Amino acid sequence: MTANRAADIVRAAPIFQVDAFTSHRFGGNPAAVVLLDAYPEDGVMQAVAAENNLAETAFLVREGHDYRLRWFTPVVEVPLCGHATLASAAVILGRLAPDMDGVTFASASGPLPVRRRGQRYAMDFPVRHSIPVPVTPAITQALGAEPTELLLGEFNYLAVLADAATVRTLTPDLAGIAGLDRGGVIVTARGDVGFDIVSRYFAPRKGIGEDPVTGAAHCMLAPFWVPRLGRQTLHAYQASARGGELEVTLAGDRVELVGSCVFFLEGTITF
């Protein structure tokens, strides 16, 4: 081994890959969870996330009884990620501390408590508010369908489509979505086949063409749909190719997201 090559391998860390928001392997949204003693330079975490090539890689550092949590897509750090938080909770409560009832993650979006809910996990996330805006030709052209309503949030657009079938069969122009002035577009409609709502999420600017299941998107979906459907708790389905289910409850300025996880991989990375 050359000196340069030996210098590359300076740290080792446990890694888990977890399918989140699903009860069966190869469904939901896969996330990587890396356990660290301390955070390295941001560029190192970005390189690890790019190597993993998953929608998100979560990096955990213990702080007292809880953990600090950061999330990276293959190209950028993000301020909130639902499925990788769910996966992180499964690692802590399912592998490292099975006697604990919950864990709180310190994050860029504030404290994120997660508690056991039977065989599932319940996450307490902040609401993401939005305002109605006119439907633009750029949105319609990028989606390949005209929204019945369009809302604008701090991070994403929310496009309401005519029905669940339109959401499920949508084939958007990802380059067009990448050219918009927000990080991504959530599309949604009233649900079908037993679900209250359906959605999909496209975020090519973040290096994610279509995210399989997106917890943070439901922080924007909940305050939109709860008053329209007249119920506080919604059974939600994200209709990507992998698909995933969430139980979503709006409680003031917080959203509870409940889902299951399945472990796929456990090992060690060196960097």
236 and 135 in a single domain? The answer is yes
106 and 19 in a single domain? The answer is yes
- CATH number reported for the structural domain that contains residue 110 in this entry: 3.10.310.10
Who has greater pLDDT, 151 or 3? Answer: 151
How many domains is the chain partitioned into structurally? 2
Could you tell me where the beta strands, DSSP code E, fall in 148-207?
A: 149-153, 156-160, 184-190, 197-203
In a domain, 125, yes or no: no
Q: Residue 185 — φ and ψ, nearest 5°?
A: -130, 125
pLDDT at 9: 52
Residue of 41, 56, 77, 247 with catalytic role = 56
Domain extent for 205: 130-252
Contact of 224 with 183, CB cutoff 8 Å = no
- Whether pLDDT at 34 is above 60: yes
In a domain, 35, yes or no: yes
For residue 58, the surrounding DSSP H or E stretch is strand 56-63
- Whether pLDDT at 6 is above 70: no
Averaged pLDDT score across all residues of the chain: 95
In a domain, 123, yes or no: no
In a domain, 167, yes or no: yes
99 and 135 in a single domain? The answer is no
- Whether pLDDT at 146 is above 50: yes
144 and 242 in a single domain? The answer is yes
In a domain, 121, yes or no: no
266 is catalytic: no
Helical spans, DSSP H, in 53-136: 82-91
Integer Cα distance of 18 and 141 in angstroms: 35
Strands 130-132 and 261-270: unpaired
- Mean pLDDT, residues 123-146 taken together: 98
Residues sharing a CB contact under 8 Å with residue 159, sequence separation 6 or more, in sequence order = 139, 143, 147, 149, 150, 151, 185, 186, 187, 188
145 and 242 in a single domain? The answer is yes
Which pLDDT tens digit goes with each residue over 171-209? 999 999 999 999 999 999 999 999 999 999 999 999 999
136 and 240 in a single domain? The answer is yes
- Whether pLDDT at 3 is above 80: no
